[in-house]
Amino acid sequence: MIKLSPSILSADFANLGQDVKRIDVGGCDWIHVDVMDGIFVPNISFGMPVIKAIRSYTSKFFDVHLMIKEPIRYIKEFKAAGADLLTIHVEACENVKETIDEIKKQGMKVGLAINPETKAEEVFQYINDVDMVLVMTVHPGFGGQSYIDDCTDKVKVIREKANSENKDLLIQVDGGITTANVETSIKAGANVIVAGSAVYKGDVEGNIKNFKEIFENVK
């Protein structure tokens, strides 16, 4: 089943709890939380206190994307705040395997992300250690960017590698996803879709329904 994980980076920060409730009631599968440190990426978003605060508004799966340097420092704190899955960047860790193992030790699912400039092959050695690979389809750090078409090929290559190893891998795409282009990513092998403004702009429930209809009809 293809999952929709709306990004709360596009929510109204002054009404974050209510905006989390809106996507929950609207029928999202997961909730995507972008954590940025101003170092690995130029922007700063929110951290553990915000995750803990919004946890009380929903029981949905928290898909937490760490765009921070050396995330191993904070894994226990993110678990305590309510994260269900932690995605780390291959580019941000001195020791990727050690970080993956620590996330598992804390009882969370593990995702491994790559930026648009990073080759798909960088995740190959970790495919059997993680639950999900996240292919960034924009440059991380800011919302509202356009989808980078070249990233579709990366999704395809990673899916082929996972299939060759009989690995039931989740592949997530994040950045510039709309109802107009999501089918391309799904056909390439993505099965977890992050969408921000395409969900939050206008009728949230209607937007989620439109995505779900596309998911059901992709051949």
- For the stretch 20-74, pLDDT in tens is 999 999 999 999 999 999 999 999 999 999 999 999 999 999 999 999 999 999 9
User: In the prediction, which pLDDT does 143 show?
Assistant: 63
DSSP 3-state of 5: strand
Q: Which residue from 7, 15, 56, 10 is spatially nearest to 33, judged by alpha carbons? A: 7
Active site members: 34, 174
CATH number of the structural domain 3-217: 3.20.20.70
Q: pLDDT tens for residues 107-157?
A: 999 999 999 999 999 999 999 999 999 999 999 876 668 999 999 999 999
The model's pTM is 0.97
Q: Which residue from 188, 186, 214, 211 is spatially nearest to 198, judged by alpha carbons? A: 211
CA 21/CA 127 separation, integer angstroms: 33
Write phi, then psi, for 58 (nearest 5 degrees).
-160, 155
Opening angle at CA 35, ends 181 and 149, nearest 5? 20
Handedness of CA 2, 5, 10, 16 (dihedral sign): positive
